[in-house]
Structure 1
Amino acid sequence: MKLLCLLGSLSLLMNLAFAEDKRIYGLHEHALLVDFNRPLEAKLDTGAKTASLNAQGIKRFRRDGKSWVRFYLDNEQAQPIERPLLRTSRIKRRADDYDEEDERGSSARPVIALSVCLGNRLQQIEVNLTDRSAFRYPLLIGSEALKQFSALIDPSLEHVTGRPSCAALSLAE
């Protein structure tokens, strides 16, 4: 019996140590795209694998023999943003985004790396670019990026971490 109690206590301590590094986030959080000093609203979605950012006028091009992508964060932005293309991802289309003439059932999206701040945590995450103008939240943060933030999501909460405060932090921390 003592051994069983000892093992139970050890298991509880290990779980507490594991949870200590985790941070609770709400379903929606304030985010900062550090690379552009651009605050925006984000939806944290454990059902999505990847992160998606609203981008307009997406164009791929070559620079010094490498693939790049040029885009605007919104239609009113004067200067385009240019970033190296990491890869292209295939994203399964939603039921309301299905095109009968396109039988693939998925769309190809360019993926770039961005530094994103949530609360006081800064992470470089992979983000696919797509037109999210029909959605309320211009940034969707999926499960792969949420793992990097050591996130626990409570969907009953919003804006738990407050305004992003990563200005003095570096990715190495």
Structure 2
Amino acid sequence: MAEKQQLGWREWVAFPDLKLPRIKAKVDTGARTSALHAFFTEPFERDGAPWVRFGVHPQQKDISEVVECEAPVLEQRVVRDSGGHEELRYVIETTLAIGGSTRRVEVTLTDRDSMKFRVLIGRTAMRGRYLVDPGRSYLSGD
């Protein structure tokens, strides 16, 4: 069995399919699903399939940089946040890169402007590959 990579409670990650090369993420084993900041979401169709276009502010505390992204929609799902509030979110599947390794993950889109991190990596994205050391940060080497 391959040794699992260690992650800290925060890491630099990338979403190459979305042209997001470096974005700070909170690694959260208490969250099931991963979430990506999207300050607008516009559904549309491409070749008869549902897609979503959305904007990302990749840097914390900076809304001047905008990356426009597009992805096929897997589904829409009601997600409960840490405060108990429910929200209907778009769910996409995309490539997540951490520390030189990549994997396909499900990510929900939500406005995280008021949150400290633009990305939340949930436990389903980490399952089987990573161990989290909550007392350390940036162990992936990115």
Q: Is this a same-fold pair by TM over 0.5?
A: yes
Please state if 1:65 is matched with 2:78: no
Q: TM-score, normalised to structure 1's length?
A: 0.72
Normalised by the length of structure 2, the TM-score is: 0.87
Residue 83 of structure 1 aligns with which residue? 71
The structure with higher relative contact order (CA 8 Å, sep 6+) is 2
- Local SS of the residue matching 1:86: strand
In 2 relative to 1, CA 118–78 (structure 1 residues): closer, same or farther, beyond 3 Å? closer
Cα distance in 2 for partners of 1:120, 1:50 equals 22
SS at match of 2:134: strand
More helix by share: 1
> Residue 31 of structure 1 corresponds to which residue in structure 2?
13
Distance in 1, Cα, partners of 2:93 & 2:87: 19
Q: Whose radius of gyration is greater, 1 or 2?
A: 1
Residue-by-residue CA offset, 1:15-64 (whole Å, 9 max, x unaligned): xx5xx421111000111111214201011100000000001111112222
SS at match of 2:78: strand
Q: Structure 2: which 5+ residue stretches go unaligned?
A: 58-62
Q: Deviations over 1:115-143 (max 9, x none)?
A: 11111111111100000011111110001
* Identity between Structure 1 and Structure 2 (%): 31
d(CA) in 1 for partners of 2:9, 2:66: 31
| Corresponding letter in the other structure for 2:25 | A
Q: Deviations over 1:63-86 (max 9, x none)?
A: 222111010112545663211101
Note if 1:160 corresponds to 2:139.
yes
Q: Runs of 4+ in structure 1 displaced over 3 angstroms?
A: 75-79
Larger proportion of strand: 2
Distance of 1:68 and 1:37 partners within structure 2: 18
